Amino acid sequence: MPSPSTSPATRSRNELAAWRNAIFVIFTLSGLSIATWAARLPEIKSNLDVSTGSIGILILGMSAGSILGLMASAWLMVRFGARAGMVFSLSCVAVGLVLIGIGAGVAFSPALVFVGLALFGFGNGSVDVMMNVEGAAAETELGKTVLPLMHACFSLGTVIGAGIGAVASALEIGVVWHASGMAAVIAIAVVIAVRFVPVRENLGDDTPTHSHKLDWKARLRANLSVWADLRLILIGVIMLGMAFAEGSANDWLALATVEGHGQSEPTGAIVFGVFVSAMTVGRVAGGPLIDRFGRVLVLQVSAVSAVIGLLVFILGSELWVIVLGTVFWGLGSALGFPLGMSAAAEGKNAAARVSAVAMIGYLAFLVGPPLIGLLGDQVGLLNALYVVLILVVLSGLASPAAREQKVRPAPTP
């Protein structure tokens, strides 16, 4: 296990690999939690007997919780460190999943589901910043692009979660048992994984020779200054569009397949699985492509792919056409979020910079679900997805802001 006090200059290859692998696990657990909720959404809607617009309002609880988590993440990191922060955040996710399961499968209470989603969103919002800051730091010390691969682990988690969700739905396993089982896995795994994350003083972690408690308020004030950076705001626009493309699929793809295209609930879960599988492939392949062609070109091609995929999904009628559109949508959505995080993490106050652009991106999760849900009630869920297409176009136009700002050190031997 890596020594908590090991400095960057003396960290061995094995310690760096253990750190990287620990963050792989954290990303996977976050993806697993998202898919657990998303794959069972049609059944949750049916159990609660509510409209599409009402589901949008329920998801607003998750979105609001995510924003609060993002706002709290920088403070949590400088006050308690990434290790404790990630355990706390994913514990919130686990408790939220249990409450969602009870609310949708036992109490049939929209209010309880709303509370569960708020806690679930808070945990995922805060851990999102922490795991990306840790991932970007590990990427820098490794000397090669690995953040897209970490996001591929998130997508892998969603693939696994979508598969489990499809099986659970087909076997008619209750939402409460499914959600509670996944919550237990997440809570146990995060405690094990964070043992391999090194303690770093510049994130406010405790060390025997450093007490961050004396200056965390001053450091927090300095973190707020990043909002004056215009380039960072433009990176946030990239995050907004790509998060909307990814988040709208997480929240609405299964339901759009069922209600918009007349497919069965298990088929909706499978199509969602296709989306996250395409994202996983895109993220696994993304690192070498980024190192060769640069962030800007990759982001522009991604935006074009997402636009094509959305159009094909919305306008398609045959199942194979819908699946093809889903593949392009997933591939196009794959790299925007990790590339935005990598770009934001360059420079001082990495935690604050990542938190800032993630907060802008998460506006998609705050505004998007209720907006698409309410529009879906008026014009149909498929037509409401044109809003996503417009934001993806804006994301592609803002892509030059993500251009690399520094030369990365040579890879660790």
Model confidence pLDDT, tens digit, residues 111-127: 999 999 999 999 998 99
DSSP structure string for 102-128: HHHHTS--HHHHHHHHHHHHHHHHHHH
DSSP 347: S
Is 60 exceeded by the pLDDT of residue 274? yes
Count of other CB atoms within 10 angstroms of residue 142: 19
Is 1 buried (19+), middle (13-18) or exposed (0-12) by CB count in 10 A?
exposed
Is 138 buried (19+), middle (13-18) or exposed (0-12) by CB count in 10 A?
buried
DSSP 40: T
d(CA 68, CA 73): 9
Count of other CB atoms within 10 angstroms of residue 410: 8
In this prediction, residue 315 carries a pLDDT of 93
| Amino acid (one-letter) located at 246 | E
Please name the residue that has the structure tokens 């692009």.
Answer: 145
Of 182, 188, 183, 186, give the one whose Cα is nearest residue 168. Answer: 182
Q: Tell me the two tokens of residue 215.
A: 């200056």
By mean pLDDT, which of 21-25, 140-144, 184-188, 252-256 is the weakest?
140-144
Q: Tell me the two tokens of residue 175.
A: 């939402």
d(CA 332, CA 189): 30
Model confidence pLDDT, tens digit, residues 178-232: 999 999 999 999 999 999 998 765 554 444 444 444 455 565 566 566 666 778 8
Is 213 buried (19+), middle (13-18) or exposed (0-12) by CB count in 10 A?
exposed
Q: Are 206 and 199 in contact (CB under 8 A)?
A: yes
Instruction: Tell me the mean pLDDT in the region 317-325.
Output: 93
d(CA 118, CA 122): 6
In this prediction, residue 213 carries a pLDDT of 45
Q: Which domains are seen in the chain, by residue range?
A: 11-202+228-401 (1.20.1250.20)
In this prediction, residue 217 carries a pLDDT of 59
d(CA 126, CA 68): 8
d(CA 19, CA 405): 25
In this prediction, residue 229 carries a pLDDT of 75
Q: Are 370 and 56 in contact (CB under 8 A)?
A: yes
Model confidence pLDDT, tens digit, residues 231-241: 888 888 898 88
d(CA 47, CA 101): 11
Q: Are 216 and 79 in contact (CB under 8 A)?
A: yes
